[in-house]
Amino acid sequence: MNTENAKSQMRKGMLEYCILLLLHKGPAYASDIIQQLKEAQLIVVEGTLYPLLTRMKNDRLLKYEWQESTQGPPRKYYALTLDGEEFLRHLDSAWNELTNTVNILHNGSEVVISKE
């Protein structure tokens, strides 16, 4: 049994949430997104990201604008739509439910999350 596959499966659906979280802070283009996710310790490759962005755009969660670059081809800057913002709130709930589920299964005791 393969740990990498398990981690990959865990990512399913999470990636959509993470991208919404990220774009909630401001527009970004694909390489931006990959870089920022990497900094948040989530490795994503192009073959995963591009179809996902296209799907989210078709579902009206995202919109984009072309922007010129000083070095290289133009970039597609993605941003959340109003639908995207609303959907993000739904996924926030879903995520909270999921963490709560894991905490209950883990030990049934409360877990305190504190920022540093």
Binding site for DNA (CB under 7 A): 5-6, 8-9, 11-16, 29-31, 43-48, 50-55, 69-76
89 binds, among a second copy, DNA, none (CB under 5 to 8 A by kind): none
Q: Among 63, 27, 29, 58, which residue's Cα sits nearest to residue 46?
A: 29
Q: Is 41 in the site for a second copy (CB under 8 A)?
A: yes
Give me the 52-91 binding string for a second copy, x by CB under 8 A, dash otherwise. Answer: -------xxx---------------------x---x--xx
Q: Is the separation of the CB atoms in 81 and 7 below 8 Å?
A: no
Q: Cβ atoms within 10 A of the Cβ of 44, count?
A: 19
Structure tokens at 10: 């865990």
Q: Is 8 in the site for a second copy (CB under 8 A)?
A: yes
Which residues is 76 bridged to in the sheet? 66
